[in-house]
Amino acid sequence: MAYQIEYPVVRRPVYASRGMVITGQPMAAQAGLSVLQAGGNAVDAALATAAALTVVEPTANGIGGDLFALVWAGGQLHGLNASGAAPAALTLDALQQRHGGEMPRHGWTPVTVPGGVRGWADLHRAHGRLDFAQVLAPAIGYARDGFPLSPAASAGWARTIQSFRGLKLDIMEEWFRTFAPDGFAPAPGALWRSEGHARTLEAIAESYGESFYSGDLAAQIDAHARATGGLLRAEDLAAHQSEWVTPISAEYGGHRVHEIPPNGQGIAALIALNILEGQRLPDRRDDPDGLHLQIEAMKRGFHDAHQYVADMRHSRVDVEHLLSAANTQAHRARLSDTAHDPATAPPSSGGTVYLATADNEGNMVSLIQSNYMGFGSGVVVPGTGIGLHNRGHNFNLEPGHPNVLAPGKRPYHTIIPGFLTRNDGTPVGPFGVMGGFMQPQGHLQVVLNTVRYGMNPQQALDAPRWQWLSGLGVEVEAGLGAGLARELAHRGHRVSVQLEPSAFGRGQIIWRNPETGVLEGGTESRTDGHIAAW
């Protein structure tokens, strides 16, 4: 990896030999490290971190959300799709009757079955080592004893309060009782406790997650839905199962980039990488011709994703064709020196948390979980700390579309964990860039920074990013420079400089040296990224 710094960096890579946990919240990372030091493996550490994140960063994820994971264990890569489906009563006709055929962002209607808790249990059952209750203990302690809120979480909390107040939805009264009992967001450094959240995590630990899907917690969710006009029922929860899947991949520069297959959008990044594998990118990362090619390739990836990505149990998604040489060549033939204005555009972005873990036995985890739009739907089950996500907002409402809303169907999903291997199958490590529809764009840029431009993990994350918005619109970070923005504009892009760093996602990386086993980590300077190493 390179060590000449081309762009300003906040820190250098961190190295460890016994274990590493990286995420966007220091206390959550420490929870994972404590489990490693207690004899757990990378999966135990990932689950401890994930559970802790539902407590310490509720502005982006929660117990009522979904989860995807890629796990390197036993010499192979395993994929877990722990996303949930639409309730049996959520049909296009029901949507028409309730909302005139428009899917709202908040309230009960966009709530799909939360799959994250089942995902925790399934990951632990397949690959964990310590007792499940021991793995969740740090999160329970944070919820019961309290923790000081970070500035980033406090700011997100305040924005949500302002937004939810403006909606004036009766169903959100419980959200305000739970998350804003004093009427305002907790200040940075203020201690926040949630006894209800702690009790819920204890019930999950004691029942191996079954309470959430067929026990007391499921009954409470069902009762609240029936009392307040929700469509989610105990039967929907009981029917939910995670799905172990074979990861999909694309080759770039002697490496393979692995993603979860649809209903996840990771295939968009793979399509873009396939297109670029056949192009000679300039030697300098900030060359305008190279950035133009990257942006155009990403548009093509999104074009296919928004046309075809759906729940493969309900719709035929020809992944083999989408990643084929024929489809790739067809996209390459449409590239030009001028920006293309596509008909499709990424929908609204949301809030997510990503984490990466590794141990000294070679196990590694790339895990991502989310409530979708920040706190999610705004629906909270009384006394439980469970805020339900609004993932159903990602369904298409056009009859005949592969991603059209249907009961028991999972929607198009934004959250995508990534994993990098060499072409010979040697694992390099987990990576991810959370942030709604920035995620495949972040994956593309991190992979190019690493493989094409030889950056170490910290450089690869700190390098200035771009983001395609829609049409000809592209946002760039100020670090790319005014001259580069002008050059992109000359190629037809409508370029704006975005000063809010969170718009460009938040990433984490762990690379493992196959000869020594030494771990090299980079974390996100655009948020409270933290590396806990041992």
Residue 2: band (very low, low, confident or very high) from pLDDT cuts 50, 70, 90:
very low
Spatial distance between the Cα atoms of 208 and 214, rounded to a whole number of angstroms: 11
Spatial distance between the Cα atoms of 124 and 179, rounded to a whole number of angstroms: 29
pLDDT of residue 11 exceeding 90, the answer is no
Would you state the pLDDT for residue 481?
Answer: 86
Long-range (24+ apart) CB contacts under 8 A made by 227-230 are 228/108, 228/170, 228/171, 228/379, 229/108, 229/171, 230/108, 230/111, 230/379
CB 139 within 8 A of CB 116: no
Would you state the pLDDT for residue 502?
Answer: 82
Residue range 218-269, pLDDT digits in tens:
999 999 999 999 999 999 999 999 999 999 999 999 999 999 999 999 999 9
pLDDT of residue 357 exceeding 60, the answer is yes
pLDDT of residue 7 exceeding 70, the answer is no
Active-site residue, from 109, 328, 352, 384: 352
Would you state the pLDDT for residue 8?
Answer: 66
CATH of span 1-141+241-426+433-527: 3.60.20.40
Residue 278: band (very low, low, confident or very high) from pLDDT cuts 50, 70, 90:
confident
CB 336 within 8 A of CB 423: no
Residue range 474-529, pLDDT digits in tens:
999 999 988 999 999 999 999 999 988 888 999 999 999 999 999 999 999 898 89
Would you state the pLDDT for residue 527?
Answer: 87
Q: How many CB atoms lie within 10 A of CB 315?
A: 17
Residue range 364-409, pLDDT digits in tens:
999 999 999 999 999 999 999 999 999 999 999 999 999 999 999 9
pLDDT of residue 447 exceeding 90, the answer is yes
Q: Write down the domain spans for the chain.
A: 1-141+241-426+433-527
CA-closest candidate to residue 506, choices 118, 52, 119, 57: 57
pLDDT, mean of residues 142-162: 96
- Residue count of the chain: 534
Residue range 188-206, pLDDT digits in tens:
999 999 999 999 999 999 9
The structure's pTM equals 0.96
Q: Is 23 a catalytic residue?
A: no
Q: Between residues 5 and 189, which one has the greater pLDDT?
A: 189
Would you state the pLDDT for residue 60?
Answer: 92
pLDDT, mean of residues 42-57: 98
Spatial distance between the Cα atoms of 467 and 476, rounded to a whole number of angstroms: 6
Residue 435: band (very low, low, confident or very high) from pLDDT cuts 50, 70, 90:
confident
Residue range 86-120, pLDDT digits in tens:
999 999 999 999 999 899 999 999 999 999 999 99
Q: What is the mean pLDDT of the chain?
A: 95
Share of the chain above pLDDT 70, in %: 97
CB 403 within 8 A of CB 107: no
Exposed / middle / buried, residue 261 (Cβ in 10 Å: 0-12, 13-18, 19+): buried
